[in-house]
């Protein structure tokens, strides 16, 4: 069963009895040239562009080329550099970061970012392979295999950042209440994963909801354990539908540098 650390982060436990069910849900995105990229992204929800070089501004160019007129907001490019890092569990991107600029509230991040772009500029010498899980397929599988968990995910709200014990500046003090599986007003499905989710405040079925969150964490840990891996090499740029996929990576040794940008499109909430 899942455990919770001193920060409030929930860690799932790999469940061997679920491996056969969840192993097919890992996705290895196609590597394509520019001419095919938009069509592949539309079809598969994820694509890797080759030979993009090392300039982080290529993320902006790729977003414009692949998403075109659907773009609504681009958030700042973030350099992610690490040395000898542990594994990153499955998650969906999105954060609440708002700053005051001359008396005007400016968003630097948004919890409903719906596409993620990641440029690899320095792959780790060892490890650091990426994992993508098709969230749509996961929810569909759980409908039959774990109907009570499926009902919880698709009908109940959670406090998405409620578990934090020492909240960083990017985490709101007020509860961020949402479903782990929802549909936008245009009918697009969003599947989420977050290590710090708790039942909403004053939830009368608190214990049952907490048990479902623990089970979901175990499902995600098992899916990550048995999913296919893929490795981003220098100059490769991953684009993925952040509403469809949850993603993580293996531990790595040595230095690893990525540049990441998230966006919102007209299909977002």
* Mean pLDDT of all residues in 85-92: 97
Sheet (strand 130-134) strand order: 88-91, 245-249, 130-134
Q: Does 172 score more than 80 pLDDT?
A: no
Provide the Cα torsion 27, 229, 20, 32; round to 10°: 20
Q: Does 138 score more than 90 pLDDT?
A: yes
Q: Does 243 score more than 90 pLDDT?
A: yes
Total count of domains within the chain: 1
Domain membership flag for residue 12: no
In 23-89, where does DSSP find H-type helix?
34-44, 58-67
Domain membership flag for residue 140: yes
Domain membership flag for residue 8: no
| Three-class SS state of 255 | strand
Residue-wise pLDDT tens digits, 5-25: 999 999 999 999 999 999 999
Domain membership flag for residue 16: no
> Helices (H), strands (E): how many in the chain?
6, 20
Q: How does residue 207 score in pLDDT terms, banded at 50, 70 and 90?
A: very high
Pick the more confident residue, 175 or 133. 133
Domain membership flag for residue 14: no
Nearest residue to 27 via CA among 217, 221, 247, 220:
247
Domain that holds residue 103: 24-263
Domain membership flag for residue 160: yes
| Rounded-to-integer distance, Cα 212 and Cα 199, Å | 10
Percent of the chain at pLDDT > 70 equals 99
Domain membership flag for residue 9: no
Q: How does residue 157 score in pLDDT terms, banded at 50, 70 and 90?
A: very high
Domain membership flag for residue 235: yes
* Mean pLDDT of all residues in 70-87: 97
The enclosing domain of 210 has a CATH number of 3.60.130.10
The encoded tokens of residue 123 equal: 């792959």
């Amino acid at each position: 069963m899942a455990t919770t650390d001193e920060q409030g982060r929930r860690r799932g436990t790999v469940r061997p009895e679920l491996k056969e069910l969840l192993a097919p849900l890992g996705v290895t995105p196609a590597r394509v040239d520019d001419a095919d990229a938009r069509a592949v992204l539309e079809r598969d929800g994820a694509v890797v562009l080759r030979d993009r070089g090392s300039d982080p501004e290529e993320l902006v160019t790729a977003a414009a080329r692949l998403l075109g007129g659907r773009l609504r907001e681009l958030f700042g490019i973030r350099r992610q550099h690490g040395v000898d890092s542990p594994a990153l569990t499955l998650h969906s991107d999105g954060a609440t970061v708002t700053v005051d600029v001359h008396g005007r509230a400016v968003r630097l991040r948004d919890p409903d970012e719906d596409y993620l772009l990641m440029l690899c500029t320095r792959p780790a010498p060892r490890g650091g392979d990426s994992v993508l899980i098709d969230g749509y397929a996961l929810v569909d599988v759980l409908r039959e295999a774990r109907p009570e968990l499926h009902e919880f995910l698709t009908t109940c709200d959670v406090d998405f950042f409620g578990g934090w014990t020492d909240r960083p500046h990017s985490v709101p003090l007020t509860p961020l209440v949402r479903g782990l599986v929802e549909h936008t007003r245009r009918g697009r499905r969003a599947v989420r994963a977050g290590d710090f989710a708790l039942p909403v405040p004053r939830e009368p079925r608190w214990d049952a909801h907490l048990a479902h969150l623990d089970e979901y964490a175990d499902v995600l840990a098992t899916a990550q354990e048995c999913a296919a891996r893929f490795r981003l090499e220098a100059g490769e740029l991953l684009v993925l539908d952040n509403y469809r996929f949850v993603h993580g990576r293996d531990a790595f040794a040595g230095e690893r540098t990525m540049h990441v940008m998230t966006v919102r499109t007209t299909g977002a909430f």
